[in-house]
Structure 1
Amino acid sequence: MKKVDIVYSGWLEAPNGASKFLSGLKCSADSFSDLNVDMNIISKGDYKAWSTNYNFGKVKSKETLRTRIFSMAKRTTVGSLLLLYILYLKNHVYIVNKYKKENRVVDIVYFHEFFTCYAYLRRKKKGKEAILLSLHSSGDIWGMFFETFPLLNVTWLRPLFRYLERYTLSHIDRVGFVADYPRKKFGELYPEFPFDKTFFVYNGLEIKSFIKKDRDIKSSIIQLVCVGTLCDRKNQMGILQALASLPNDLQKRYSLTLVGDGNVRNELENFSRKNIHTEVKFVGSVADVTSYLLTADVFILLSKDEGLPISILEAMRCSLPIISTQVAGIPEMIEDGKSGYLIPPDYQKLSLLLLDLLEKNVDLIGMGERSKSLFEQKFTKEKMILAYSKLFHSI
């Protein structure tokens, strides 16, 4: 029996892609056991209590205050460093220290966050366990990080980040990714790390059957839905700008639902109120997005950087055609023109596509069926579990 610990600094209950992914793995412990893998996920919930009364719909005022503080601090390099420590590094160190005290004996310790992995390596004593790190990114260790903290991408801090990556990469056994493209991109960016020590495994979800709403053939309104943290990287502003650039009468041929919360929500709401002449709903963070997917016609995600978004997999599972960007692993999820459309993260390109959808009377239902078929072929939980089990036994 191969013993594997996955160490994660976040809450498994949180409504974000990483937490959903790892929560799914935890629920699959019995399936891993059937394949001779004893897998345990150690997260913040093992050391701090998650409030079962937490209501994502009632935290807007707290999030607004937090967002304001976050935005002000990000305006300076020093403030960004403080935020980095308070929001991230402090928590990574806390989880690692708690985990190390347990003195668990395992074959593999597996991380899905760079800084948690680094914190563990700095405290690691000589042992036989293999260290794995998966990067849920486009292949650049710092790409998403600098999207969040752009003022840290400065010359005088680069030696620090270069040291962190060199130390980490020289002390781990494998580096993993959630798609093939990020793996290849990593190989180009970090040629010093042996490429044969890299791997990729697609994220996977449980196959479920949903009753999707019947599309009203008399309705001229196409319902768009986007699920994700409201932030610059996810580029919801680009979606709004694309809608705003359409003539008013054509804007009304669409509606948009944005599921998620984040530090640009107020900016998005203000832009929508002033520039868009059709329905735009901001529903905030929710634990289960399925109901919003089942009432939509098209899923849209205009991200500037990604790994392999869980939100797209959830939409594919619900038989939705996907409009998304040509970044990271996303092109591996979409057959352009058949199950959806791939475009650059540019609102003008999206605006042209939205016009085409209206003019060409596209078969959205047929595209959605192809999207679900691709999900079942490549992105099921069963396939993911089998791939990870083979990986663990190969180490």
Structure 2
Amino acid sequence: MDFAFDARTEELRTKLLAFMDEHVYPAEQVAHEQRARLASPWQTPPVVEELKAEARRQGLWNLFLPDAEYGAGLTNLQYAPLAEITGRSPQLAPTATNCAAPDTGNMEVLAQFGDERQRKQWLEPLLAGEIRSAFAMTEPEVASSDATNITTRIERDGDEYVITGRKWYISGAMHPDCTIFIVMGKTDPDGPDIRRQQSMVLVPRDTPGVTVKRAMQVFGYEDHYHGGHAEVVFDHARVPVSNLIGEEGGGFAIAQARLGPGRIHHCMRLIGMAERAIELMCRRAVSREAFGKALAQQGVVQNWIADARVQVEQLRLLVLKTAWLMDTVGNRGAHTEIQAIKIATPRAVVGILDRAIQLHGAGGVSQDFPLAELYAGARTLMLADGPDEVHQRSLARRELKRYL
């Protein structure tokens, strides 16, 4: 396993690091101030559109998509260090480079499973950053950690599908540019194979019967930059049968194909969040005194910083190994490693952020530093794309199978 950056990765890393220093970090406070003056908090601050235009001008656009026809054509191993860099400013950088969830996963689904009409109508404007999208799977009435539990119905009626159900924490749905939902529901609820009961359909936001009811908060944050997380009701919403993605009964398999890359992308960005936290810890430690000496001279602070560095280096190696395996043996062959990073990375980064918050005192939980919002995002990823316990259960079964 050779994790040295190749020439293209090094070129993009250099450009992306400069883009972050020259454009993204200075825009963080500007975006915050602009948003306070907007008529709606869900509107996009003008500086974000400026960032998107500059990123596109520099060729820092759609870096996540390995399909060279639609994206940058990078491997997972090439994209990993780039996603890490954008994770240092997770509210702005992924959006600026058109690499933000849930659009990334939705574009991957359309590129891999969509037909020519679906790609023309929805994928192309998503790739151009002209519209946003949402992925509607999670439901409040069932344990969505088991995707076979979903109750939303997708019933065929002639040349149409009728969608009925209630979803929540549907990321991106509050964004005014969110024009399309990928909805997962059951087309064959009584089918003998519980993993063939589900299908996915494309549902335009303006479809009669679709109601975006409210924004769901995450530790009090509404995640405006990514379009929030909404409760959405589908009340006999009708779409053409041609809006089916793939085939009937293929929804579960499509979801698994979508979530594999999504999980590693989250972990890549989490490492960038941890690096930002370490930088803030070090800057704080050398600039503040307590009890007659700099915080940097306090043993407990030194231990926090050392432990954080060790954890980040360990995580990065595991993520790079996972990316390499996904490129060489496929997502199925890297299943164990994908689950391992999904378990280990959010847990460790939450701990690093917690110590960074502690080191900043009251400032750590305030809006004057990014740490509290980073913490909320990292802690959420212990639930998103499958709770830690689900991955632990599956990983343990795979380990035990060899001894049974």
When normalised by structure 2's length, the TM-score is 0.30
Q: Determine which structure has the larger helix proportion and give its number.
A: 2
